[in-house]
Amino acid sequence: MNSLLFIILVVFYFYMIVSAISVLLLENRNPVRSLSWVLVLVLLPVIGILLYFLIGQNYRKQKIISKKSIKHETKLPYKELKPDAFTEFITSPNQLNMINLLYKNSDASVYAYNKIDVLADGESTFSAMFEAIKNAENHIHIEFFIFEDDRISNYLRELLIEKAKAGVRVRMIYDYLGSFDLSRKYLRTLKEAGVYVRPFLPLRLRLRRSKINFRNHRKILIVDGKYGFTGGLNFADRYIFGNTLGKWRDTFVRFEGSAVHGLQSLFLTDWYFVERKLITDIKYYPKPKKYEQNLIQIVSSGPDSDWECIMQGIASGIMSAHDYVYLHTPYFVPNDVILNAVIIAALSGVNIKLMIPKESDSRFSDACTFSYLGEIIEAGVKVYQYEEGFLHSKAIVIDDFISIVGSANLDERSFNQNFEANAFIYENKTALELKKLFENDMLNCREITLDDWHNRKRSQKLKESFARLFSPII
């Protein structure tokens, strides 16, 4: 009897493996990603199947949440702005091509005449956000991947409670897994004060339809529909006081003008997903003031999008560069598109500089990152390790005109699995600020040479190769 049961279990297990592999093949995924999953399924009995059902299923075609469908089925009150309306703002056809790409792949409207402030560290970012919140009169919409239960987040809680009690409508979205350590007391006190708090994709005990791997990594704050913030920082003390890795260095941008409508639209789309309530009231889209002549696109991507929107935009920017590309990223685990774009641009004579942290909060990511450095250095890319704490910034500047700031890292998780938001800015002043910021950060860096890479220990090389093999699925 026991042997019969064992045979049945073995047959059932192999049936599950064959079924999973069949699904992988029929989905026509990236071959590297598919082969990585096949290795996991074959080499890790039982665990491989569990991992596949937890984090390996592809929901892109199922449209977990669709910004396009919500916008098209309900007439949002702001005016859609198409790229061809602002051709006089653009200095080259390549830039217009990039704008058209983002408009088509993510429905990213174009917003003109904005005021833009670059916030280069935790102190300036939190100070600016707290000031905006204190002065809020109508509403506060806040959405972040991580809210730590620490001094910074508790001060935020106090401000939100104060504003809610004063009659300001406060809506807050937190990622259930990213903010898993938030206490029940923290959330309860917000709700009792009248703050509308909702988790993004809370965990469900549904293995067959698990979405645990799809997280909301966006960082957005909108106040009164007039002031908008986005970037790479989370609400945590480490951006001011540091941790075992040192002080976390990050970049944020603050908007006034029509681009705030783009952030507002994205937040309210996410709010519809967590609350199932569509908000289109005109008060959330006040008529913006006109500021300097510039263009901004707010680009979102994730398992809901038809295309890898942010990734395509970054690749387009790199390939269109004539002079230089400066890249800030805490994790450099590129797919083939980004890797080849960087290599081709470097080989074409473009001055490409990549800045990564000396040590990140993930040893696996560090190993993956280092495995790619040899080939890009050989192509002419200058690689720098930031040593003054942990570089968490996700900022790119291209040719003194294109700036990209947001939540997306240069890795497969950000390109495919996370819900992300980046601002694509077309303007000289912001680009020069980010360029100067990058050059200042270089003072706290050490350049990695080709000799450094070749002289690694054999054990380190093996670890990096192993990490790279499984990087497409992590």
* DSSP secondary structure string for all residues of 391-443: E---EEEETTTEEEEES--EEHIIIIISBEEEEEEE-HHHHHHHHHHHHHHHT
Choose the weakest-confidence range: 17-31, 78-92, 317-331: 17-31
State the pLDDT confidence band at 78, using cuts at 50, 70 and 90: low
Return the CATH fold of 67-89+113-292: Endonuclease; Chain A (3.30.870)
| 449 secondary structure, DSSP code | P
Quick one: what percent of the chain has pLDDT higher than 70? 78
Task: Determine which one of 392, 411, 441, 463 is catalytic.
Answer: 392
Q: Note if 104 is an active site residue.
A: no
Q: 303 with 416: CB under 8 angstroms?
A: yes
Q: What is the mean pLDDT of residues 394-419?
A: 94
Q: Is the pLDDT of residue 65 over 60?
A: no
Look up 217 and say whether it is catalytic. Answer: yes
How far apart, in whole angstroms, are the C-alpha atoms of residue 286 and residue 267? Answer: 16
In this model, does residue 258 exceed pLDDT 90?
yes
219 is known as an active-site residue: yes
State the Rg of the chain over Cα: 23
pLDDT for position 50: 60
Assess whether 139 carries a catalytic annotation.
no
323 included as an active-site residue? no
Global pTM value:
0.87
Q: Which pLDDT score, from 0 to 100, does residue 426 have?
A: 94
288-307 burial, b at 16+ Cβ within 10 Å, e below that, comes to beebeebbbbbbbbbbbbee
| pLDDT computed for residue 209 by the predictor | 52
Structure-block tokens of residue 464: 């990096």
Does residue 75 surpass a pLDDT of 90?
no
Which residues lie closer than 8 Å to 439 by C-beta, 6 or more apart?
A: none
pLDDT at 37 over 60: no
Of residues 282 and 11, which shows the higher confidence score?
282
Give me the mean pLDDT over the 6-15 stretch: 58
Confidence of residue 466 (pLDDT cuts 50, 70, 90): confident
Buried b (16+ CB within 10 A) or exposed e, 392-427: bbbbbbbbbbbbbbbbbbbbbbbbbbbbbbbbbbbb
Largest Cα–Cα separation, the chain: 80
| The two three-digit tokens of residue 350, written as one number | 């473009």
Q: Report the 10 Å Cβ neighbour count for 18.
A: 11
- 147 has pLDDT over 60: yes
Q: What is the pLDDT of residue 18?
A: 63
Output the six-digit token pair for 88: 């006089």
8 Å CB contact between 226 and 288: yes
Catalytic member of 219, 261, 358, 463: 219
67, 141, 211, 217: the catalytic one is: 217
Paired sense of beta strands 351-357 and 324-328, if any:
parallel
Pull the structure tokens for residue 449: 């040479």
**Residues 107, 304, 399, 441: which is the catalytic one?**
399
Q: Which of 394, 411, 441, 463 is catalytic?
A: 394
Q: Nearest Cα to 171, choosing from 315, 53, 270, 76?
A: 270
Spot the catalytic one: 107, 224, 411, 441. Answer: 224
Q: What mean pLDDT value characterizes the chain?
A: 86
pLDDT above 80 for 31: no
pLDDT reading at 4 higher than 90:
no
The rounded distance, in Å, linking the Cα atoms of 301 and 419 is: 6
Cα separation of 121 and 348, whole Å? 34
Per-residue pLDDT, averaged over 149-175, amounts to: 97
Residue type (1 letter), 277: K
Residue 74 has pLDDT above 60, yes or no: no
Q: What's the average model confidence in pLDDT over 24-28?
A: 52
- Residue 207 — pLDDT band, cuts 50, 70, 90? very low
Residue type at 380? G
Active site residue 399: yes
DSSP string, 206-242: -GGG--TT--B---EEEETTTEEEEES--BSGGGTT-
Residues 6+ apart with CB under 8 A from 202: 176
Q: What is the CATH number of domain 309-473?
A: 3.30.870.10
**What is the percent of the chain with per-residue pLDDT over 90, rounded to a whole number?**
65
A 10 A CB-CB count for 77 gives 13
Q: In angstroms, rounded to a whole number, what is the distance separating the alpha carbons of residues 35 and 14?
A: 17
